Structure formats: structure tokens, C-alpha cells
């Protein structure tokens, strides 16, 4: 990828991170760019959508890198389970680079294991949350919808806040995004005369 395209992609990803950040855990520009760089590098290297990686980080930790799960085994920005990682909790909590690398590795492995399944997206993403015997129903069964919601909101730069954590269907995700997209005709009217030049 040419350098200028890489920079544009990373900046677009950073804007997406800031769009989906939690209001109680803001992400400044420098941190957003650092996270975007790591997510883009590891995601593109392993064929994992970087927007899904930042969605995982938002859903799992609200972009708080030092978070540790209740049982002490889910660690860092992407809440990687140390029982399936070669890294320690201390390493995962101290390095966003390692956190995104591990999330990309896991998601690429789950993707490969779910090829050919009719519920491919649910399979590959829910395995990240609940392992090989991934949940298909209930709150854990809807994990993939939350990740897809945050990923699409980041891709479009649409702030959805906590709403992604409550989604129940693909249709609801589409409705939420459509309701928050700026109306092009209203945007043109409010932009003023300079926009018509």
C-alpha cells in the first residue's frame, strides 16, 4: 500500500475510534492514532478488518488499556485471555501493540475455523467472546452484533455511544446508523454559500 494511502487509512481509523469512544473514557488524538496504527498494521497483515479490531477494543475495554477482567485472565485493551496467549497479563496491559496483535491473531484463527459455516460472522466473532463452543443465543450470542455495530459506526465516523451494546439484530444496526447519518440536503443548506463554489 502506498504511504499516502496508509496514512489516510490510519487517520480514518483514528477518526472512527474517536467517534465510538465512551464519553466516560475519552481517547485523545495521539492515542487514537497510535491505536489505529496498531490495529491497521496487525489487521491488514492477517486479513482481519481493522475496524473490527477497534470495535473489539471498544466493546471489551472502552479503549482502557490497563483493564483486567473479573477472573484476572482477560487482560488489556482487547481483553485477551492469557490461557490462550503467549503473553502475560502484565504484557497485554502495558502494550496496545501486543493487544491488537493478539486480537488479530485470534480473529484470524477463528475466521479460518468458521469458513463454510452458514453463521460465519457469528461463528468467527462469537468465538472471540466465548471460545470454540461459541454462544448462538442470549446476550453472548449477540456479541457479534455489538462488534459489527461498533465497527460500522467507526467506519462511518458515527457516534453511537452505548447503543451498540444493546443491539438485537442487523436491522437494528442499520436503523441506528441511518438515524445518525447527516442528511445531505440539510448539510448543503447549512454549509453556506462557500460550499456551492
Task: Write the DSSP assignment of 81-112 as a string of letters.
Answer: EGGG-SS-HHHHHH-HHHHHHHHHHHHHHHHH
pTM recorded for the entire structure:
0.90
Contact 60, 77 (CB under 8 A): yes
What is the rounded radius of gyration, in angstroms, for the C-alpha atoms of the chain? 17
What mean pLDDT comes out for the span 167-171?
95
| pLDDT, tens digit, 9 for 90 and up, residues 49-106 | 999 999 999 999 999 999 999 999 999 999 999 999 999 999 999 999 999 999 999 9
Q: Sort 192 into a burial class: Cβ within 10 Å, 0-12 / 13-18 / 19+.
A: exposed
Q: Is the pLDDT of residue 110 over 50?
A: yes
CB neighbours of residue 144 within 10 Å: 24
Which pLDDT score is estimated for 195?
Answer: 36
pLDDT value, residue 194: 43
The confidence band for 185, taking pLDDT boundaries of 50, 70 and 90, is low
What is the percent of the chain with per-residue pLDDT over 90, rounded to a whole number?
A: 83
d(CA 171, CA 89): 37
Amino acid at each position: 500500500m502506498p504511504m499516502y494511502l496508509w496514512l489516510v487509512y490510519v487517520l480514518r481509523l483514528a477518526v472512527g475510534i474517536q467517534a465510538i469512544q465512551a464519553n466516560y473514557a475519552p481517547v485523545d488524538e495521539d492515542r487514537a492514532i497510535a491505536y489505529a496504527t496498531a490495529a491497521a498494521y496487525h489487521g491488514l497483515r492477517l486479513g482481519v478488518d481493522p475496524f473490527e479490531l477497534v470495535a473489539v477494543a471498544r466493546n471489551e475495554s472502552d479503549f482502557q488499556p490497563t483493564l483486567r477482567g473479573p477472573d484476572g485472565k482477560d487482560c488489556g485493551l482487547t481483553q485477551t485471555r492469557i490461557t490462550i496467549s503467549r503473553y502475560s497479563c502484565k504484557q497485554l496491559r502495558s502494550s496496545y501493540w501486543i493487544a491488537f496483535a493478539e486480537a488479530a491473531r485470534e480473529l484470524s484463527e477463528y475466521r479460518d475455523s468458521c469458513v463454510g459455516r452458514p453463521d460465519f460472522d457469528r461463528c468467527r466473532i462469537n468465538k472471540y467472546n466465548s471460545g470454540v463452543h461459541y454462544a448462538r443465543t442470549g446476550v453472548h450470542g449477540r456479541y457479534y452484533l455489538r462488534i459489527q455495530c461498533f465497527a460500522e459506526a467507526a467506519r462511518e465516523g458515527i457516534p453511537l455511544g452505548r447503543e451498540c451494546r444493546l443491539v438485537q439484530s442487523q436491522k437494528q444496526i442499520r436503523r441506528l446508523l441511518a438515524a445518525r447519518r447527516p442528511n445531505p440536503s440539510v448539510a448543503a443548506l447549512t454549509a453556506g454559500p462557500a460550499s456551492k463554489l
